[in-house]
């Protein structure tokens, strides 16, 4: 009998058992941590939070306007030579909107027009609320989406130039949720009237959007084209050539304002021919999609909101609530491009 050998076998067995246990514990931990990374997000909660963030940003924007403490500075000039101002309204609304959303959804990538200094104190910013009465009433069925598929675009103060001129109607705050690059949820808030328009494509639109406007293209044979105040002159020539001498060109500030004007039937189309940033467009794009309108570049392509590094659109914009192909064709006809019958 060899006692020593059997003891040795048992010792080895114990070692094997220990190694196995370590492996099992490691696998368990590793499995858990990858699960944490694959966070899924309730789009219904994110919609409610987006409305809350836009409305809180709006409160900051209007309080600073009322107190006349804008502390306007210039970010430089746009390509077209217009002044590009930034104010305390932009920066403080950014801090409120960005950090309230980030505190509620730490796993989501948020892209904002503005930035704050890294040492800014955000302890007083409350997390965005995950419930909103309009959303609870309008959205019956939630949708869960992996956080990595989501990009949130925020514009803490659209129409800053008009804000400095005290042209309050044009000012909006905006939040947009893109899922895999598609504009899916849009919120446009008007701080000075209190209106909040929101939509979730294929799911629901806000009470404020449920009354359709007159939406009549070519009322009295006239196309009503809304364009930027800063280069209305240039677009007037283009619009007249495309839609006839009687074309009415409506100059206005803010991409959010202009898109809502199309939604409300105050204009047939919003045309923009120079570079524009995607945080100016995404929320309006989602709202138009939800109402079966359309937004494309002037080349007729959809805008992709999936990559933060491609935040600039240099292809122009056409936004309509109906007859998109018609407007696109007329505008493209100017470029001398050969048109195919639709």
Q: Can you say which residues are annotated as belonging to the binding site for Mg(2+)?
A: 113, 155, 157-158, 280
Q: Of the candidates 60, 291, 328, 331, which one interacts with ligand NAG according to CB under 6 A?
A: 328
Residue with smaller CB distance to ligand NAG, 92 or 324: 324
C-alpha distances (whole Å) from 159 to each of 69, 116, 165, 194, 245 are: 17, 19, 10, 16, 29
The answer to whether 259 contacts ligand NAG (rule: CB under 6 A) is no
Smallest distance, ligand NAG to C-beta of residue 122, A: 39
The answer to whether 330 contacts ligand NAG (rule: CB under 6 A) is no
Other beta carbons within 10 Å of 255: 29
Residue with smaller CB distance to ligand NAG, 53 or 328: 328
The answer to whether 296 contacts ligand NAG (rule: CB under 6 A) is yes
Residues near 89 by beta carbon (within 8 Å), at least 6 away in sequence: 60, 61, 64, 65, 70, 157, 160, 163
The answer to whether 300 contacts ligand NAG (rule: CB under 6 A) is yes
Q: Of the candidates 161, 294, 297, 313, which one interacts with ligand NAG according to CB under 6 A?
A: 294
Residue with CB nearest ligand NAG?
A: 294
Tell me if residue 95 falls in helix, strand or coil.
Answer: helix
The answer to whether 184 contacts ligand NAG (rule: CB under 6 A) is no
Q: Which residues are annotated as a binding site?
A: 113, 155, 157-158, 280
The contact pattern for ligand NAG, residues 306-325, with x = CB under 6 A and - = no contact, is ------------------xx
Smallest distance, ligand NAG to C-beta of residue 273, A: 17
What are the helix (H) ranges across the chain?
3-37, 43-67, 88-104, 133-138, 160-164, 232-243, 255-263, 282-290, 324-334
Closest listed residue to residue 101, CA positions, set 119, 126, 123: 126
Residues near 116 by beta carbon (within 8 Å), at least 6 away in sequence: 91, 94, 95, 98
Smallest distance, ligand NAG to C-beta of residue 318, A: 8
> What are the residues binding ligand NAG (CB under 6 A)?
294, 296, 300, 324-325, 328
């Amino acid at each position: 009998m060899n006692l020593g050998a059997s003891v040795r076998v048992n010792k080895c067995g114990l070692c094997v058992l220990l190694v196995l246990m370590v492996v099992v514990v490691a696998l368990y931990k590793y499995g858990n941590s990858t699960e944490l990374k694959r966070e899924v997000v309730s789009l219904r909660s994110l919609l409610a939070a987006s409305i809350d963030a836009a409305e809180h940003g709006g409160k900051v924007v209007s309080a600073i306007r009322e107190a006349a403490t804008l502390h306007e500075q210039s970010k430089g000039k746009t390509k077209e030579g217009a002044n590009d101002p930034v104010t305390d309204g932009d920066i403080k609304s950014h801090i409120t909107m960005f950090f309230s959303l980030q505190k509620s959804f730490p796993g989501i990538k948020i892209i904002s027009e503005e930035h704050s200094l890294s040492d800014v104190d955000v302890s007083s910013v409350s997390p965005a609320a995950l419930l909103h009465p309009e959303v609870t009433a309008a959205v019956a069925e939630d949708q869960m989406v992996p956080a990595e598929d989501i990009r949130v675009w925020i514009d803490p103060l659209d129409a800053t130039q008009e804000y400095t001129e005290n042209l309050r109607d044009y000012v909006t705050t905006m939040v947009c949720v893109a899922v895999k690059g598609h504009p899916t949820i849009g919120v446009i808030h008007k701080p000075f009237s209190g209106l909040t328009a929101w939509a979730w494509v294929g799911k629901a639109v806000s009470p404020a959007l449920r009354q359709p406007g007159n939406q009549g293209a070519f009322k009295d044979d006239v196309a009503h084209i809304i364009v930027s105040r800063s280069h209305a002159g240039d677009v007037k020539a283009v619009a007249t050539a495309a839609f006839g001498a009687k074309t009415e060109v409506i100059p206005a500030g803010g991409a959010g304002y202009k898109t809502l004007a199309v939604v409300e039937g105050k204009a047939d189309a919003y045309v923009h021919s120079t570079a524009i940033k995607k945080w100016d467009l995404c929320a309006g794009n989602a709202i138009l999609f939800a109402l079966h309108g359309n937004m494309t570049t002037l080349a007729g392509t959809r805008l992709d909101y999936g990559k933060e590094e491609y935040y600039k659109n240099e292809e122009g914009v056409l936004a309509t609530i109906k007859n998109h192909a018609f407007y696109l064709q007329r505008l493209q006809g100017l470029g001398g491009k050969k048109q195919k019958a639709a």
